[in-house]
Chain A
């Protein structure tokens, strides 16, 4: 039913926000993408994507606590919402359904 689609990068960022849990902010997402996928992403692109996801209601943001690092600036912490989780789930299921139709990828017949 969902008419909303996520772009590849949006999906990646959304997943990372889920992965990082309470520690998801701009830099952390960039680092996580680099560490886990070995992929370089730009900070500004990640920020814009996060805001877009927030507009769509898939993540929520709050300001974190004050620290000494970061020139005293607080972090904007993103958490995945239920809508975000269900979006990820729908996408995964849709993908799995399609995967089953590809004979070479079908685990059962392998």
Chain B
């Protein structure tokens, strides 16, 4: 008893008992205790207890843990070989069904793979920026209504807050964007530029391929370029020290030499250099700039910039926002104080921007991918259950010779997993083949199979196995539950499985019909976007964005002279010189008010800069007055045109005086133009004002209205003329309708993806239905023979076979239609202008599914129904 007063650590003992197989535990425990008692006597109980624990831990090893856990002695290799052989035989015996299994799974997995990559890439946008969790975009909002562009904020704000609150803010990067004509010898390109702070590389951690990352903007004429730009001009990337020539905007056609100080590596997608798809290629310093007429970013009058701020680690966003509000209230001039600037985390900016448009798109496509996988899994379950009778004997034999239920379950699960892994390998093949087309649809570059990355493949494989197990689980448990004797006599019925199969088919029909209807809605809405009367004529309008920026009086005159040259081309109907084209992008926002009215009542509106031919070129009718000028009315500096909405908002008519806030000029309304859709149809028509390019001395686009007919020839002719008139400027053009289509990029992607998904879903559903029908037909061959002998007609037999499906489709229709209606209505909510939902959009999917199902059933049962009944009766 004395010796038992010292006990070994109870935890260790409990642990040992937990992991140790019971058969071994007594002997091991005994040995350990014996050693413990000995140690107690020799080295004292404290060390003994420690040693005991250590020894227990050392027993925690595979040799002990796995002993008798793996039944390797019971499942020898020959058995596994047998499983494989039986599986292949079963597959071979039912080629159609195996093909349906594999086809469905392959389609589902390939689609899921692509969607997975797409979602992954979209989620990774901005993740590559240095310490992105501390980067924020300054966003502006107003108490009344939305700010012009939420991503713009007062220019000096970042530097002011960083100076005043150095403990909160670590740094900032701001920029103004500018398209610049860049030349080297006889190569000319218009490139997107950012003129911003010198913190570009250090704050954002952009990867520098060559050159000076720390002090890239050391000289007045230093330029940082992207890798693509280097390749474009020099065909190599190591171009630090080389010179590029940039066109100025002073109107004297001057060009300036810049020295390349750094080349940035390909930038992963981010919301800085690629904000609103701008894809900036060249970067200049706003502080050193002496070429472009820009405001000083340190002055509050300078307007707004895109700004990014980095908080110090540990600094709270709410504190930082309070600091910003404080600076806005104390330092900003009176008229800016009504603005609220908040910080939007850059990590989620891309997903959340524009009311979370991207996020919604991701949810939608992920749901569709899951639906397709579900359809494939259902096919698998249904056909396995349906064809189980063919394997009843095998199950009976296995059970009779001593196969345990667990073994049978494992066998069937392994079979379905093996099938899905096979399907996954095929899906990789499909992916490799379909990659270019799919990438085009999704609007991203899909990586080659070899570039997918181990983790990604691993995750996909895990999903594949899950799908395999899900698909195999029910059949495995069902099949293994059959009684050995009954299955040997082939007497077991799959009665209880029939109900499940039918409800799964209803699910399939619901999903297919729902996605089909949704896809019609999307297609109609996108078509509506592109076909709706926008209030102007977008057809045959060629827009040239590379008009040389000669922003001076002589400059305007020289461009107007050039316009006459183009006008002399026979296929050119009209040309307008303007800053904006009606595709949502505009340069200036002003606050207008009727003279005599309180300044505070001023209405925010975009200010478009166009010449007097704009209305004619785009075929926009005038409501009243003239569009800036005509034969009778010469243009004056104070002439302004507004649209109908602006007329109502300001309550002015032609001839009334209008003021722009912070501007001394008194404008006269020369004309009121009919409302047209300058913005995307997601938004309502806003009030707008027009001033003449001759007055603003700023412009970007030629809009060339061409005669209907040979477009390619017309473009070639315009280009040839361009080479002659502007030999030193590139000819960059698009057609207005293409430009418009870009506005609806996300919707277009969704339309294409849902169209493809609908096609794939129908393929999967109908191969599934086909499989089930053929099973039913082969099972009921004898019955049909008897019916025919007793006088049934071919029609009645086909009706008999289709009846169950009619009921299922009816049920599915009752569920799918309201669901599809609900989700479509939800989706359309996001658009200011939307197509009215039409009843036939929801009827077409039902009719299509119904028709195809009946066709399949009829085709499959026709042969048996027509055949000689004696043959059917002898069928076994």
CB within 8 Å of B: which residues of A?
A: 25-27, 42-45, 47-48, 51-52, 61, 63, 69-71, 73-76
Contact = CB atoms under 8 A, between A and B. Distances in A.
Contacts of A61: 27
B10 to A, nearest CB: 12
Interface in B14-45: 24, 26-35, 37
Given A48-B63, A48-B64, A69 B26 contact: no
Contact of A27 (B31, B63, B64): B31
Given A44-B55, A44-B59, A73 B27 contact: yes
Given A44-B64, A51-B63, A52-B63, A63 B26 contact: yes
B24 A69 contact: no
A73 B67 contact: no
B496 interface: no
Contact of A43 (B4, B24, B37, B55): B55
Interface string B54-70: 01001101011001000
Contacts of B63: 47-48, 51-52
B34 A76 contact: no
28 contacts: A25-B27, A26-B31, A27-B31, A27-B35, A42-B58, A43-B35, A43-B58, A43-B59, A44-B58, A44-B59, A47-B27, A48-B61, A52-B63, A63-B27, A69-B37, A70-B30, A70-B31, A70-B33, A70-B34, A71-B33, A73-B27, A73-B30, A73-B33, A74-B26, A74-B30, A75-B30, A75-B31, A76-B26
A47 B59 contact: yes
B632 to A, nearest CB: 106
A47 B30 contact: no
Interface residues of B, number: 20
Contacts of A76: 24, 26-27, 30
Contacts of B31: 25-27, 43, 47, 70, 75
Given A44-B64, A61-B27, A74-B26, 17 more contacts: A25-B31, A27-B31, A43-B32, A44-B58, A48-B63, A51-B24, A51-B63, A63-B27, A69-B34, A70-B30, A70-B37, A71-B33, A73-B26, A73-B27, A73-B30, A76-B26, A76-B27
Contacts of A71: 4, 29-30, 33
Contacts of B64: 44, 47-48, 51
A9 to B, nearest CB: 12
Contact of B29 (A42, A44, A63, A73): A73
Nearest to A49: B63
A70 B58 CA distance: 19
A51 B30 CA distance: 16
A82 B34 CA distance: 30
A74 B27 contact: yes
Contacts of A51: 24, 63-64, 67
Contacts of A45: 58
Interface of B: 4, 24, 26-35, 37, 55, 58-59, 61, 63-64, 67
Contacts of A26: 27-28, 31
Nearest to B60: A44
Nearest to A76: B27
A71 to B, nearest CB: 4
A69 B67 CA distance: 27
Contacts of B33: 70-71, 73
A43 B54 CA distance: 11
Nearest to B32: A43
A76 B29 CA distance: 10
Contacts of A42: 58
B26 A27 contact: no
Nearest to B73: A55
Contacts of A25: 27, 30-31
B323 to A, nearest CB: 62
A27 B34 contact: yes
A76 B25 CA distance: 10
A75 B58 CA distance: 20
Nearest to B4: A71
B189 to A, nearest CB: 72
A53 to B, nearest CB: 12
B73 to A, nearest CB: 8
Contacts of A70: 30-31, 33-34, 37
Given A43-B35, A47-B64, A70-B34, A75 B55 contact: no
Contacts of A52: 63
A45 B58 CA distance: 8
B24 to A, nearest CB: 7
Nearest to B7: A71
B63 to A, nearest CB: 3
A84 B63 CA distance: 20
Nearest to B3: A69
Q: Which 7 A-B pairs have the closest CB atoms?
A: A76-B27, A73-B30, A48-B63, A26-B31, A70-B30, A71-B33, A44-B58
Nearest to B35: A27
A26 B33 CA distance: 12
Nearest to B37: A69
Contacts of A75: 27, 30-31
A75 B34 CA distance: 10
A49 B642 CA distance: 94
Contacts of B37: 69-70
Contacts of A44: 55, 58-59, 61, 64
B623 to A, nearest CB: 94
Contacts of A48: 61, 63-64
Nearest to A29: B31
Contacts of B59: 43-44, 47
B34 to A, nearest CB: 5
A51 B26 CA distance: 14
A52 B63 CA distance: 8
Given A42-B58, A52-B63, A47 B35 contact: no
B66 to A, nearest CB: 11
Contacts of A43: 31-32, 35, 55, 58-59
A75 to B, nearest CB: 6
A86 to B, nearest CB: 22
A53 B508 CA distance: 57
B32, B34, B59, B64: which has the most chain A beta carbons within 10 Å? B34
A23 B55 CA distance: 22
A75 B4 CA distance: 19
B28 A47 contact: yes
A10 B63 CA distance: 14
B170 to A, nearest CB: 54
A63 B23 CA distance: 11
Nearest to A55: B73
A102 to B, nearest CB: 35
Contacts of B58: 42-45
A69 B37 CA distance: 9
A51 B28 CA distance: 11
Instruction: Give the most central of A26, A27, A44, A48: most B CB within 10 Å.
Output: A44
A76 B64 CA distance: 15
